[in-house]
Chain A
Amino acid sequence: MAALINVPAKAKRGDVIEIRTLTSHIMETGFRHTADGALVPRDIITSFTCRYNGTEVFRADLFPAIAANPYLSFFTVAKESGKFEFEWIGDNGYSSTASASITVE
């Protein structure tokens, strides 16, 4: 699935950088009904993880109260050049990944 990742391409060693992620997902709450009264089953992303060269730097548990197309922004210290890997896991076996690289000087 499509994801938008915003990681600075370059950073100085020790800088605190902001990472912003947006992924497309309906985040169906499981509390809504169709016009004829049937409950729409829950379908949400429940977990997000960010790894920096293999080490987990940020993790989040998401609930139905997170808006559709979950947006998350957080910070980390730029330590070394390498790769950020992002993973979204959700209901009905949903799984999606994305990655971004950074050059640290």
Chain B
Amino acid sequence: MPTTRRQFLSIAGGATVAGTIPIVTLRPLEATPAMLSTAIRNVVGEAQIHTGKVKLDIPPLVENGNTVPVTVSVASPMTATDYVKSIHVFNEKNPQPNIGNFYLNPSSGRAQVSTRMRLADTQKVVAIARMSDDTFWQVAADIVVTLAACTEEMN
């Protein structure tokens, strides 16, 4: 019996569906925006996050995601009554959403921290500062990465 158009389409359709399932389940190892917001909520709790005060210094175009310089600074007088308690840096698409937590105190003098991070993909980086009055301030930066880090094969 010759294959009818209807039979052919149902077989082809079934194969397509079967083919897409593994792609969905084998999604690349990366944090989702949901993981990013969960990680942020773990630090911030239910508090409201304001935008501003925090400055994120990262090159907008990164050639090598294995070492990306990052500087976070917060506008704060750093006095005994008004200072930055901590700075938290997060990413959107690395396998894990956390980058680093940095704890300061009034004797820090200046609320600024620098380090070098890894970025697995072109993505958003978020920095959040916790002030001494327990308000939270954030800033986000979009970074383009041409060579990804973190999950490449080891030679």
Contacts and interface: CB of A to CB of B under 8 A. Distances in A.
Interface of A: 16-17, 29, 31-35, 40, 52, 55-68, 70-77, 79
Contacts of A55: 107
A57 to B, nearest CB: 6
Question: What is the size category of the interface that chain B forms with chain A?
Answer: 35 or more
Interface string B118-155: 11000000000000000000000000000001111111
A64 B67 contact: no
Contact of A67 (B67, B96, B154): B67
A40 B150 CA distance: 11
Given A33-B154, A55-B107, A65-B150, 12 more contacts: A29-B151, A32-B150, A32-B152, A35-B155, A56-B105, A59-B102, A60-B101, A66-B115, A73-B113, A75-B110, A75-B111, A77-B108
B68 A60 contact: no
Contact of A32 (B112, B117, B154): B154
A23 B98 CA distance: 21
B29 A31 contact: yes
B100 interface: yes
B118 A67 contact: yes
Given A35-B153, A68-B67, A60 B102 contact: yes
Nearest to A74: B113
A76 to B, nearest CB: 6
Given A29-B150, A64-B96, A68-B66, A74 B91 contact: no
